[in-house]
Structure 1
Amino acid sequence: MAAGFPWPIVVAQHMPASFTGALARRLDGLSALAVQEVTAPVALVPGRVYVGRGDADVIVVRRPGGLMAAPAPARADYPWHPSVDRLVESALDLVPAPRLVGVLMTGMGRDGARAMAALRERGGRTIAEAEATAVVWGMPGELVRAGGASVVAPLEAIAAELTALVP
């Protein structure tokens, strides 16, 4: 993503807690956007990336100062953590769907497909990584099969697709 991206980005990456901090630091060094791991509630700021802490979930909450990304204990009704479904559902509870864009990239299982299909049904936009570039097309494939993908794009085109969808 280019510097100056006008929305915050929240990432739910299925990883143990011992890896998400290192992932955030690595991405921070590679990206034009500032990247941090969410270990405590933090204000959502345009042009910043928030990586959920592993073995827990990351959700969007409203506090007196505005919207925040916050860690939340893992729940048994969400089998993968950080949970994409739980993140998207929390955002949909607080933000009108047309103001949200979800991106689902390579991964095993179906996490994210249900909530992102609901996001699209409510007027939000969704991007699924194309099978040709996904290491494992489980998660994005489930979104496509559910009819929940507004756009299906190869990995190298996702940033441009995202930029085109964000006003």
Structure 2
Amino acid sequence: MKLGLMVNTPELAQRLEHALEPLHDIHWVAQDETQALRLCRDMPPELLLLQLGTADRVAFSQRVMNEAPCPLLLLDLATELHTEWAFNALGHGALDVVHLPELANGSAFNPALLLRKIQNIAWLATPPQPVTQRATRTSAKRACLIAIGASAGGPATLNQLLRELPKDLDAAVVLVQHLDDKFSAGMAEWLARESTLPVRLVQAGEIPQTGVVLLAGRNEHLTVSRRGDLQYSLKPDAQIYRPSIDIFFQSIAEQWRGDAIGVLLTGMGRDGADGLKAMRERGFATITQDQSSSVVWGMPKAAVAIDAAAEVLPLDRIANRLAELCRWMAVKRNS
């Protein structure tokens, strides 16, 4: 890939160039925001690596996405995670964030994680294998499960959605967000501060609970078993992202024995589209975010293209629609 670099010192740029140049072309290195913005316009990189470090860098990420859009990977090089800055920048459209304190403190630097993140972004548009037709639905035996997937732009979008869900929501909620697991606990705490519902990380083996929001918290796939419990797995390893939204949605289509709703939100690429279609084919309700309210209308667009979504809604209508569907399903279960 042709990479743009914007880091705080020439030494950091040199270390990154040394690690990346065998596989990637360092298109340019910017010394300040004005130069970086001009280069994004005049010599667009296939990916811009931007070092976090101040709130101004978060604002700059928004300027890049508004004025010279290009794929953006955040580098958090501080010893302590800049979780809130990272989530805000991801909300503006950055694709991912990687925590590499050893790059800045002079320690031995293993570039494998960074190279994997870059490769994931390069592969984002590659469609996964098509899903097969699913079996017909079994009768509902559990409360409703709302499964939500998001990627670029997801943290801020999820924050708004959870704020708008009612406190008496008659459903369990499970979130799969493309995010390095180092940031997962911080994201759960960040979401919980404003959510109407409690938010915490998924623990392997637990069963989703009504009125509780669970966030996938490992660099592993999340699945639901026929028993209804949540499990982590490294397989299949061919998927670009762990956790994969497709893998989670498909496990619900194959294993979940109650009511379910699949929701696919903002994100680049097409992860989640085939899984959402599998859920719809099983008879579950499916919703995607519309283009006007999406930070990146990639994953929802892919779902719309294959008729995976029964409804395409702006973000500010999704929470109310979920509550309506849950009430209707509760009446149906109790009738």
Same fold (TM over 0.5): yes
> Match for 1:23 among 171, 178, 187?
187
1:71 paired residue number:
232
- 1:90 to partner: Cα distance: 1.3
1:81 paired residue number:
242
- 1:48 to partner: Cα distance: 0.8
* 8 A Cα contact 1:38 1:51, kept in partner: yes
- 1:118 to partner: Cα distance: 1.7
The separation in 2 between residues aligned to 1:144 and 1:11, in whole angstroms, is: 20
The separation in 1 between residues aligned to 2:212 and 2:301, in whole angstroms, is: 28
Provide, for residues 120-141 of structure 1, a one-character-per-residue CA deviation record: whole Å limited to 9, x for no partner. Answer: 1221111100000100000011
1:36 paired residue number:
200
The separation in 2 between residues aligned to 1:68 and 1:159, in whole angstroms, is: 25
Are residue 53 (structure 1) and residue 217 (structure 2) matched?
yes
The separation in 2 between residues aligned to 1:54 and 1:131, in whole angstroms, is: 29
Are residue 159 (structure 1) and residue 323 (structure 2) matched?
no
More strand by share: 1
Distance 1:62 1:117, change over 3 A: closer
* 8 A Cα contact 1:74 1:82, kept in partner: no
* 8 A Cα contact 2:224 2:256, kept in partner: no
Higher RCO, Cα 8 Å, sep 6+: 1
Q: Any unmatched runs of 5+ in structure 2?
A: 1-164, 330-335
| Count of residue pairs brought into register by the alignment | 163
Are residue 122 (structure 1) and residue 291 (structure 2) matched?
no
| 3-state SS of paired residue (1:45) | coil
| 3-state SS of paired residue (1:79) | coil
- 1:41 to partner: Cα distance: 2.3
Are residue 103 (structure 1) and residue 263 (structure 2) matched?
yes
Q: Any unmatched runs of 5+ in structure 1?
A: none
1:139 paired residue number:
299
| 3-state SS of paired residue (1:8) | strand
| 3-state SS of paired residue (1:42) | coil
More helix by share: 2
Q: What value does the CA root-mean-square deviation take over the aligned residues?
A: 1.6
Q: How high is the TM-score relative to the length of structure 2?
A: 0.46
The separation in 2 between residues aligned to 1:125 and 1:137, in whole angstroms, is: 20
Structure index of larger Rg:
2
2:58 paired residue number:
none
- 1:106 to partner: Cα distance: 0.3
- Among the aligned pairs, what percent are the same residue? 33
Instruction: State the AA in 1 paired with 2:206.
Output: V
